[in-house]
Amino acid sequence: MTRPASPAQPASDAQPASSALPALPDVPGPIERPRRLRSSSAMRSLVRETTLRPADLVLPMFVREGAREDRPVSSMPGVVQHTEDSLLRAAEQAVERGVGGLMLFGVPERKDPVGSGATDPDGVLNRALARLRSELGDATVLMADLCLDEFTDHGHCGVLDAAGHVDNDATLARYREMALSQAEAGAHLLGPSGMMDGQVAAVRDALDAAGCADVGIFAYTAKYASAFYGPFREAVDSSLTGDRRTYQQDPANAREALRELALDVAEGADLVMVKPGLPYLDVLTQVVEASPVPVGAYQVSGEYAMIEAAAANGWIDRDRTVLESLLAFRRAGASTVLTYYASEVADWFTTGLPDHLREFA
């Protein structure tokens, strides 16, 4: 069907086409203008809700038995297995920079089924603890990882039964012995990290019975069975075969962390921890809201390795990413952050932040 033609308009009636937009009516501006408080660096600093200080940070450190030179951890650029001498130098440097504490892990030459090196007064971890305490005294908070995994030839955090399963209660007996060895060596805080039921109570009882009531417990309350621990296995020369899912927490569970929190506090924990960090900020916030004691977070090896790998490829601004990630823990409520960046970041703050990082001051 043919559409009828429109009648032609007289030339005098034709109007030129216009590209001008129609005028908008006057609309009042927004009543709320949050951008006023973002208008300058000084203004942002004035209203900043979350701060980061060297004293908020704890430096995890590895010491290797019999080492004559530092051994780099390939999956964690910048992190090494220390000799006993270099451990002391690095610890002194961290303390001078204002780092809040040191968490020590040992890498023994020999391992066995029950982790004998963990309770040997002359074992690598206890010897290193004693030397640091002798040299540093109370200038820092000296912490010790209280777990058997570095010392067992099977790599699990406890002793095994005849069927090859981790024996919870037999492991607690070893933790009691380990606690006394670390307290005797001079640790201020012990970090039971094996996720055994009743571990905090066992350690607290052993310490109190031995007259070590002043030694505190930094409980690994919510330690998840995480893929983010991969580089750490290299850092401690782990012998693990299999996995730790029967004792570390299921990554799918959050409420379970609050149950673990209640148990640890009732058993005598002085501080509690969520590990890993960034993938579990929701859990960290819930634990902070429920906890009557200070809460820490551990920025684990996999988190560190991802930042380093992305920065090496030029995909991110390394230094800003480091500080932003640490602020995330503090914003979520952590009073203490364990991070392999602790000494480096403390140096940035004590010597003056570079221009591109001043927003974090």
Condensed to tens digits (0 to 9), the pLDDT of residues 266-291 reads 999 999 999 999 999 999 999 999 99
Confidence (pLDDT) at 25 = 75
Question: Averaged over 180-194, what is the pLDDT?
Answer: 98
Confidence (pLDDT) at 79 = 97
Is 18's pLDDT higher than 60?
A: no
Is 3's pLDDT higher than 50?
A: no
Confidence (pLDDT) at 139 = 97
Question: Averaged over 116-137, what is the pLDDT?
Answer: 98
What is the share, in percent, of the chain residues with pLDDT greater than 90?
84
Can you give the residue ranges of every domain in the chain?
51-360
**Residue 327 confidence class, pLDDT cut points 50, 70, 90:** very high
Relative to beta strand 295-298, strand 141-146 is: unpaired
Interval 127-177: pLDDT, tens? 999 999 999 999 999 999 999 999 999 999 999 999 999 999 999 999 999
Instruction: Give me the amino acid identity at 38.
Output: R
| Least reliable range by pLDDT among 53-57, 184-188, 257-261, 356-360 | 356-360
CATH T-level assignment (fold) for domain 51-360: TIM Barrel (3.20.20)
**Residue 356 confidence class, pLDDT cut points 50, 70, 90:** confident
**Residue 242 confidence class, pLDDT cut points 50, 70, 90:** confident
Confidence (pLDDT) at 1 = 47
| Least reliable range by pLDDT among 13-22, 88-97, 183-192, 329-338 | 13-22
Confidence (pLDDT) at 263 = 98
Residue 267 · residue 204 · CB < 8 Å: yes
Is 253's pLDDT higher than 80?
A: yes
Question: Averaged over 8-20, what is the pLDDT?
Answer: 54
**Residue 13 confidence class, pLDDT cut points 50, 70, 90:** low
Confidence (pLDDT) at 32 = 92
- Cis omega (within 30 of 0) on the bond before 276? yes
Q: Could you tell me which residues are beta bridge partners of residue 295?
A: 272
Catalytic residues: 223, 275
